[in-house]
């Protein structure tokens, strides 16, 4: 005949750690953190507002935090296609991955044209006579500062 087994005693209840609550205006933490790109490994780093530098936990590189109120801009590196962040107003940006020096243009200094071969939308500096497609290497003549994209949209 089987012998009945007594149930195991239940362990005493232990207090659980409080659940993580993301920052929101409701809990008063809004604006307490900001972010920047690590100068070493290009990972996105979060840091408390007021910090002057941030040490990356992945590569241990120390990245300087731009002064408060500094307006940032972004561009894609022409050499390796990495997204680069830089202080708005800079004229050139050197990629920390492939060391390509990229021309940093404001929105009002660039025009657009479709590649004459593959029809990829290309960006170029106003005043340029031609632009080389990075996809198919075709050179499209733009002749002056009028964009052929603008002409195509009007037809």
pLDDT in tens, 88-141: 888 889 988 899 998 887 766 778 889 999 999 888 877 788 999 989 999 999
Greatest Cα pair distance in the chain = 100
Which residues, 6 or more positions from 29, have their beta carbon under 8 angstroms from its beta carbon? 23
* H or E stretch at 3: none
Pairing of strands 110-114, 121-125: antiparallel
pTM across the whole model:
0.43
Reported as a single tens digit per residue, the pLDDT across 6-47 is 454 555 554 544 444 444 433 333 467 888 888 888 888 899
97 token code pair:
């991955």
Closest CA relative to residue 149, chosen from 120, 117, 108 = 120
Q: How many CB atoms lie within 10 A of CB 148?
A: 17
């Amino acid at each position: 005949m089987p012998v009945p087994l007594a149930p195991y005693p239940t362990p005493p209840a232990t207090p659980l750690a409080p659940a993580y609550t993301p920052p929101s205006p409701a809990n008063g933490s809004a604006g307490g953190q900001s972010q920047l790109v690590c100068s070493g490994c290009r990972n996105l780093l979060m840091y408390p507002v007021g910090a002057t530098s941030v040490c990356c936990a992945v590569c241990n590189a120390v990245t300087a935090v731009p002064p408060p109120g500094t307006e940032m801009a972004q561009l894609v590196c022409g050499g390796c296609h990495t997204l680069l962040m830089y202080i708005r107003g800079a004229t050139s940006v050197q990629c920390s991955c492939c060391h390509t020096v990229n021309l940093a243009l404001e929105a009002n200094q660039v025009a657009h044209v479709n590649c004459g071969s593959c029809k990829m939308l290309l960006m170029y500096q106003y005043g340029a006579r031609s632009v080389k497609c990075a996809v198919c290497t075709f050179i499209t003549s733009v002749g002056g500062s009028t964009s052929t994209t603008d002409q195509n949209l009007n037809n």
